[in-house]
Amino acid sequence: MPTPVRPYYEAELRKSEEARMRSDMQLEWHHLERAHILGQRWPREHNAVHWRMLVFGFRTKNTREIIGQLPRPIIGGVKSFVGTVPIGNTGGADVPAMRTMPLPQDLSALLEGDQK
């Protein structure tokens, strides 16, 4: 992961953890999705978010999320490695794994800056 993107990715993970500590599952998930968007181009970071999403599914007893997350660390890591990730995908089981989605404006600016 490029140095300019890493602090924002780590901040989203930190915010998700802070929300978890406050039992704010909606906010926790929101930050996991944002971390996924930021990290999906890099295999290690991509897989790390999917692992957290899987743990979230177990913790919340969300069978759909658990089943949806189980293959994603493997598939997502390979897709990141070969550069075929669907940009903007939020990573949850509620969206198809290969669906491209609009980037939030603030994250788009970060990721476009990385491409220059």
Q: For residue 20, what are the domain limits?
A: 6-115
pLDDT of residue 63 exceeding 90: yes
Question: Is residue 34 in a domain?
Answer: yes
Residue 116: pLDDT band (50, 70, 90) is very low
Question: Is residue 39 in a domain?
Answer: yes
Q: Which residues have a Cβ under 8 Å from the Cβ of 94 and sit 6 or more positions away?
A: 64, 68
Q: For residue 71, what is the enclosing H or E element?
A: none
Question: Is residue 96 in a domain?
Answer: yes
Mean pLDDT of 24-49: 95
Number of domains in the chain: 1
Question: Is residue 1 in a domain?
Answer: no
CA-CA-CA-CA torsion sign (78, 84, 88, 94): negative
Residue 92: pLDDT band (50, 70, 90) is very high
